[in-house]
Structure 1
Amino acid sequence: MSIHGLAASTTTGPSHFDIVKVIRPNILALHPYRCARDDYSEGILLDANENALGHSITRPDGQHDPLLDLDLHRYPDPAQNTIKERIASLRSLPGVDHVFLGVGSDEIIDLLMRVCVAPGTEKILTTPPTYGMYGVCAQINDIAVVKCPLELTGTAGEGGEAGRFSIRVSEIKKAIDADPTIKLIFLCSPGNPTGTLIPLSSIRAILEYQNFTGIVVVDEAYIDFASDEASAASLIKEYANLVVMQTLSKSFGLAGVRLGVALAQPPLIQVLTNTKAPYNISTPAAHIALSALAPASITTMRSKIATLAASRLGLIIELAALASLGLGSVLGGNDANFVVVPVLGSDGKPDNTRAQRLYRSLAEENGVVVRYRGSEPGCEGCLRITVGTDEENRTAIAKIRTVLSAI
C-alpha cells in the first residue's frame, strides 16, 4: 500500500525499517481532506465561505496593530512552504518535503501516536524523567507506556555521554526484545527536566537495532542551547525511522506563537500532512514565524542564546554558593535554558518536603516562580529553575538564600 500524496521516492536506511508496516492501516488508506486553498489562493475567492467584508476588530484606543492588516478573514495557507523552506535551510535539510509544522510540539506528539500506534494493543517507550506530555498523549489515545528510566545515579559525564541522566541503550534494547508492540521511542535531548544531551552515537545505536521496526522520536525543544553538532537532524538523511521535533518556543522566544516542527524523510512527513487539520497554522503565527526565521532574526536569536548560556553558568555558580544552606549541586548536563538543583534536608539528602516549602514560599511570598520536580524519577527534592535575565537571576538567588535560611 502506498502513501497518498507522496511522489515516487526512495527512502534511506535502515534496511530493517518499512514505514508502511509502521503506519496504521486506516491512516494509510486515508484520503486527506482537500481544503479550498489547496487548489487556488488568488483571485476573487468565493469558494471557502469566508466573510468578504473582512474582520470586525476595532481598537478602542485608535492605535494601529500591524497584525490586523493581515488577511485575517481568509483561511491561512495550509502548506506554509515559505516557512518550511527557511527551516529546511536552517537545519541543512534538502527541502520542504522534510518539514512538518504543528501547533506546538504537542500536536506533533499526538499525531505521531495516532498515525503509528493502535489504541489498546500497541505501546510507546519513554525514558523518565522526561517531558510529561508523552504520557498524557498516550493516555488520551489509550496507549500503554513502557518506561525505561535514565541512569538515575552518578555524575554526568562529558557531554552527557555517561553517568546521571544518560540513556541506557542496552536497557532500551532489552525492552524492545521483550515487547514487540512498541511502535515509538521518545527521547528528549537535551532532556526535560534533566538538561542532559543524548549523544548521536546512542541515537544511532537504537535506530540501527534490527529488532526495533518502529520510529525513534527525538524531542529537541532545547537543542539550540547545546553545541552546533548536537542535533539529530544531521541523521535524517540516513534514517527513515527517525523524526526530530523542534520548536520556536524556546531559543526563538516565541512560546506564545505555538509553532512546532517535525523533521523527517518525506514519507513520514506526508503521512503527518495527510492527517493534520487543514489549516493548523494560523495567519498571525505564520507571519511571526517568517519574521523569526529571517537571517537578521536568527543572528539575534543566536546572540541571545550566547547571553543565556553565560547567565546559566553564572546561575550555577551562585547556586553552588548556597551549599551551606542546604542546596545540593546542580544535576544533569546543563545543555538547556534551565538548571535542576536538589534541596537537601538536615541529613544532607534530597528532601521533597523542604523543596516544596521552598517552592511555595518563593512563589506565594517572594514573587519568584520556579518548578517543583521532586516527584520525577531521580529528581527527589529537585527544583527546576529557568535562566532569567541577569536581574531576575540575582533576585531569585537572593530570595532562595532568604527562604533557605528560614526553613
Structure 2
Amino acid sequence: MSILGLAASVPTVGPSHFDIIKVLRPNILALHPYRCARDDYQDGILLDANENALGHSITRSGSSDDSIFDLDLHRYPDPAQNAIKERVDHIFLGVGSDEIIDLLMRVCVAPGKDKILITPPTYGMYSVCAQINDIAAVKCPLELTGAAGEGGESGRFSVRVSEIKKAVDADPSIKLIFLCSPGNPTGTLIPLSTVRAILDYPNFKGIVVVDEAYIDFASDDASAVSLIKEYGNLVVMQTLSKSFGLAGVRLGVALARPPLIQVLTNTKAPYNISTPTAHIALSALAPASVSAMRSNIATLIASRKTLLSDLAALASLGVGQAIGGNDANFVVVPILGADGQPDNTRAQHLYRSLAEENGVVVRYRGSEPGCGGCLRITVGTEEENRTAVTKIREVLSAV
C-alpha cells in the first residue's frame, strides 16, 4: 500500500529492518485527508470558505503596535504554510510539540493494543498523551550515577540502551520510543551514538522520536537532525518556544523523511497553524532575528554558569550540587536534609515559600525518578537569578 500524496519516486532510506507501512495504522494509510478551501486556490474573490467578507471587528487601540491586525484574519490560514517550510527540508508544523506528540501516537500506535517506550525522568506529556489515546507506556528509567549526596559528586543521567533493547525484545508491540535530548527535567544531552544504536537495532521495527526542545542550548553538533538523511525511522522535534523565546506562539516542528511527513500532513487538522503564528514565525526565522536569538542563547548560557556557581555557594545551607548535564536553559538542584541526603519535605517547603512568600516561582521535581528533593530553576535574567539565589538563601537560613 502506498502513502496518499507521496510520489512513488521518493527514495527510501535505511535501516533495512524498517518498513514505515508496517508501522502506520491501517486506518491512517487509508485516510483521505480533509480538503481545505485554500488547498486549491488562495487568490481572487474568495467566496468558497464561508468566511466573513467584511473583515475582523477588532477596534484598534492606537497605543501599541497593532500591525498584526493588518493581516487577513477574516480568511482561513494557509493550510500548507509553505513560506515557513521552504526554510527547512522535510518539515511538519504543529501547534507546539505537544500536537506532534499526540499525532505521532494516533498515526502509529493502535489504542489498547500497541505501546510506546519512555525513559523517565522525562517530559510528562508523553505519558499524558498515551493515556488519552489508551496507549500503555513501557518505562526504561535513565541511569543516574554519582547522585547528589554520594561523595559530593553531581548526578549524571544516561540512556540505558541495553534495557531498551531488552524491552523491545520482550514486547514487539512497542511502536514509538521517545528520547528527550537535552532531557526535561534532567538537562542531559543524549549522544548521537546512543540514538544511532537504537535506530540500528534490528528487533525494533518502530520509530524513534528525539525531542530537542532545548537543543539550541547545547553544543552546535549535538542535534539528531544530522541523522535524518540516513534513517527513515527517526523523527526529530524542535520548537520556537525556548531558544526563540516564542512560547506564546505555540509552534513546534517535526523533521523526518518524506513518507512520515506526508502521513502527518494527511492526518493533521485542516488549519492547525494560525495566520498570526505563521507571521511571527517567519519574522523569527529572518536572518536578523536568528542572529538575535543566538546572542540571547550566549547570554543565557553565561548566566547558567553564574547561577550554578551561586547555587554551589549555598552548599552549607543544604543546596546540593546540580544534577544532570546542564545542557538546557534550566538547572536542577537537590535540597538536602541534615543527613546530607535529598529531602523532599525540605524541598517542598522551599518551593512553596519561594512562590507564596517571596515572589519567586521554581518547579518542584522531587517526585520524578532520580530527582529526589530536586527543584528545577529556569535561567532568568541576571537580576532574576540574583533575586532567586538571595531568596533561597533567606528561606533556607530561616529553617
Question: For this structure pair, what is the TM-score category when the shorter chain's length is used for normalisation?
Answer: over 0.9
SS for the counterpart of 1:197 is: coil
Distance of 2:158 and 2:242 partners within structure 1: 22
1:65 and 2:57 equivalent?
Answer: no
- 1:54 aligns with 55
Distance change >3 Å, CA 183–CA 398, structure 1 → 2: same
Give 1:353-372 correspondences, 5 Å limit.
Answer: 353-372=345-364
Letter in 1 for 2:377: I
Distance of 2:121 and 2:349 partners within structure 1: 22
SS for the counterpart of 2:209 is: strand
Distance of 2:86 and 2:121 partners within structure 1: 34
Aligned-residue offset at 1:164: 2.4
SS for the counterpart of 1:152 is: strand
Give 1:85-164 correspondences, 5 Å limit.
Answer: 85-86=86-87, 88=88, 95=89, 98-154=90-146, 164=156
Letter in 1 for 2:6: L
Letter in 1 for 2:104: L
Give 1:1-80 correspondences, 5 Å limit.
Answer: 1-8=1-8, 9-60=10-61, 63=64, 65-80=66-81
TM-score with structure 1 setting the length: 0.95
Contact in 1 for aligned 2:307/2:379 (Cα 8 Å): yes
Contact in 2 for aligned 1:152/1:377 (Cα 8 Å): no
1:298 and 2:290 equivalent?
Answer: yes
Distance change >3 Å, CA 63–CA 358, structure 1 → 2: closer
1:179-223 CA deviation, whole Å, 9 max, x = no partner?
000000000000000000000000000000000000000000000
Contact in 2 for aligned 1:344/1:351 (Cα 8 Å): yes
Letter in 1 for 2:36: C
1:323-381 CA deviation, whole Å, 9 max, x = no partner?
00001000000000000000000111000000000000000000000000000000000
Distance of 1:214 and 1:163 partners within structure 2: 31
Give 1:243-262 correspondences, 5 Å limit.
Answer: 243-262=235-254
1:242-261 CA deviation, whole Å, 9 max, x = no partner?
00000000000000000000
Distance of 1:16 and 1:326 partners within structure 2: 51
1:271-308 CA deviation, whole Å, 9 max, x = no partner?
00000000000000000000000011000000100000
Contact in 2 for aligned 1:331/1:340 (Cα 8 Å): yes
1:80-119 CA deviation, whole Å, 9 max, x = no partner?
1111122x1xxxxxx3xx1000000000000000000000
Distance of 1:217 and 1:49 partners within structure 2: 38
SS for the counterpart of 1:165 is: strand
Aligned-residue offset at 1:59: 3.0
Unaligned runs of 5+ in 1: 89-94, 157-161
Contact in 2 for aligned 1:23/1:115 (Cα 8 Å): yes
SS for the counterpart of 2:311 is: helix
1:105-158 CA deviation, whole Å, 9 max, x = no partner?
0000000000000000110000000000000000000000000000023269xx
Give 1:202-351 correspondences, 5 Å limit.
Answer: 202-351=194-343
Aligned-residue offset at 1:63: 5.0
- 1:193 aligns with 185
Letter in 2 for 1:40: Y
Distance of 1:64 and 1:397 partners within structure 2: 36
Letter in 2 for 1:5: G
Contact in 1 for aligned 2:121/2:141 (Cα 8 Å): yes
SS for the counterpart of 1:349 is: coil
Distance of 2:169 and 2:287 partners within structure 1: 46
Contact in 2 for aligned 1:126/1:147 (Cα 8 Å): yes
Distance of 1:321 and 1:375 partners within structure 2: 25
Unaligned runs of 5+ in 2: 149-153
SS for the counterpart of 1:397 is: helix
Contact in 1 for aligned 2:51/2:74 (Cα 8 Å): yes
Distance of 1:115 and 1:359 partners within structure 2: 39
SS for the counterpart of 2:167 is: helix
Distance change >3 Å, CA 62–CA 310, structure 1 → 2: closer
Aligned-residue offset at 1:165: 1.2
Contact in 2 for aligned 1:151/1:163 (Cα 8 Å): no
Distance of 2:358 and 2:65 partners within structure 1: 37
Distance of 1:85 and 1:110 partners within structure 2: 25
Aligned-residue offset at 1:163: 7.2
Contact in 2 for aligned 1:150/1:164 (Cα 8 Å): no
Distance of 2:24 and 2:187 partners within structure 1: 31
Distance of 1:404 and 1:368 partners within structure 2: 14
1:352 and 2:344 equivalent?
Answer: yes
- 1:92 aligns with none
Distance of 1:358 and 1:85 partners within structure 2: 48
Distance change >3 Å, CA 183–CA 401, structure 1 → 2: same
Letter in 2 for 1:72: L
Residues matched between the structures, number: 393
Contact in 1 for aligned 2:155/2:324 (Cα 8 Å): no
SS for the counterpart of 2:331 is: strand
SS for the counterpart of 1:305 is: helix
Letter in 2 for 1:73: H
